Every structure is written in structure tokens, then in C-alpha cells.
Amino acid sequence: MSLISDSSLIFARQMRLSLRSPAWPIIGLFQPALYLAFLGPLLVSVAGAGVDGLPAGAAWRFFVPGLLIQLGLFGPLFAGLSIIADLRSGVFERMRVTPVSRFALLAGRVMRDTVVLLVQTVVLLTVAYAFGLRAPLVGLLLMFLFVAAIAVGLSALSHGLGLLVRSEESFTPLLNVAAIPLLLLSGILLPMTLAPQWLDVISRLTPFRYIVDGMRTALYGDYTGSVVVTGAAVAVVTAAVCLVLGARLFSRRHA
């Protein structure tokens, strides 16, 4: 099917560019490791005795899902910067003037961001294992599904926004304004069960709250409970909505 082969062509090109960029191995592989090394031990101490929402001995299983989401918020969420660069250089118009499907132009890029995040996930889980993360295999495999959904959603959204905003100067601050509250409200660093009620309520209005809870519960070994199912459903629906939104923006004639 040409949609698949067209998307793969775009994916391969974007991947080549990523691999060629000298920043890629550093940002992509060392950043997650740094978080584990410099933040993880603090959390282990905090959780030493176990607090509400953070069972004793589960510090790494609690911490790793939050880090994975954080990687998503700093990677795929900012992926739209590349479409702005391609708009400016004319690369995007050069591709748009071919008969290739508009969706493939988005899908190939989203695939690149997803693969990058999945590779980062492998690294992060490996390093976390060295630090002391122990979790059931199924739970670990579920992390990849969650991460893929997060990457697809954030990357598609970011690319669509990039086409709307069209300038790095507005795009970066806009996303920072969006990413920081999302990050804090998801309860990535500390359990939201510690939050006062008003904060807990606001937190429940953001998708990452459900996603991170689902991921943690999966690592605790409870795959079939409603928390994991809800988290997975929220992740998939959010990804789908973002993908549709991005696709619409990509198919506009005057982009």
C-alpha cells in the first residue's frame, strides 16, 4: 500500500537526518541516564519507608514511568520544530508538491519520533535495571506500548502546531508553557495521592495523570486492573485525537 511505503520513505529520511546529527546520541541516550543517576537516589531515600501512593521498595517502579513521560514531553512534544525548519527551507513544500499522501508526510515523521523514544526507553530501562529496577516482564513490555502511544500523540500534535505557528520564536515558549503544567500535574515526581484535593482534581483533568498511574500499576504487576486499562485507554484515545488533528492540519492546502 502506498501510504505505508510513502510513510516509510519519509521515516527513513528523517531517521537518516537524526542519526547524522551529532547531538542525537548525547541527548537521546545520556539524558535518561542522567535523570536516573541524579534524581533516582533522592527518590529512593524519600520513599524509604513507603508513603501513600509510593509503596516501600517500589521507588524505581514508581520513578521510571514518570521519566518516560518526561522524555516524551521533551522529545516528541518539541518535534514540531523540525517542521518549522522544513517550512522555512522549502523542504516541506517540495514534498507537498509531489502526489504523496499528506498523511504519509506526517506519519513518517511521527514514526521517527516514536522510534527515537522507544530506543530511549530501552536505554532508560536498562540503566534503571542497573540501578535496581525490578519489575515483571509483562509490565516492562507494556511500557513500550504506553511510550509508543505517548510519542505518536505528542509528535502528531507538535507537528500540527508547528504548521499553525510557523515560527520557532512563538513555538518554543508556547510548548514550554504547556509542558511544565502537564509535567507537574501528572504526578511524575511525587505521587498525586499526597496532593490536596484541589490539586488532585486539576490533575485528573490532564491525560498524563491516568497514563502515569496506569504505567506504574503495570510495573507493580497488576495488568488487568482498571487503573492500567484506564491509563491505556486514555493513552490510545489521546494519541488518536492528536493524530487526527495533526493529519487535518497537514492536509490543509494553504499550509
Which residues make up the interface to other proteins (CB under 8 A)? Answer: 2, 6, 9, 13, 16-17, 20-21, 85-86, 89-91, 93-100, 253-254
Compute the least distance from the CB of residue 25 to other proteins, in Å.
16
Kindly tell me which of 26 and 194 has the beta carbon lying closer to other proteins. Answer: 26
Q: How far is CA 95 from CA 71, 139, 156, in A?
A: 29, 40, 18
Nearest distance from residue 103's CB to other proteins, in Å? 12
CA-closest candidate to residue 63, choices 50, 54, 74, 75: 54
Burial class (CB in 10 A: 0-12, 13-18, 19+), 218: buried
Cell of 75: 522529545
Supply the minimum distance, in Å, between the C-beta of residue 252 and other proteins.
Answer: 9
Q: Considering beta carbons, is residue 44 or 91 the nearer one to other proteins?
A: 91
7 vs 217, which CB is nearer to other proteins? 7
Place of cell 515558549: 173
Task: Name the amino acid, one letter, at 215.
Answer: M
| Grid cell 518526561 in the structure block, residue | 70
Nearer to other proteins, 102 or 122 (CB): 102
Per-residue burial over 66-84, b = 16 or more CB atoms within 10 Å of its CB, e = otherwise: bbbbbbbbebbbbbbebbb
Shortest distance in whole angstroms from residue 15 CB to other proteins: 12
Shortest distance, position 120 Cβ to other proteins, whole Å: 22
- Kindly tell me which of 85 and 194 has the beta carbon lying closer to other proteins: 85
Nearest by Cα to 142 from 58, 227, 75, 207 = 227
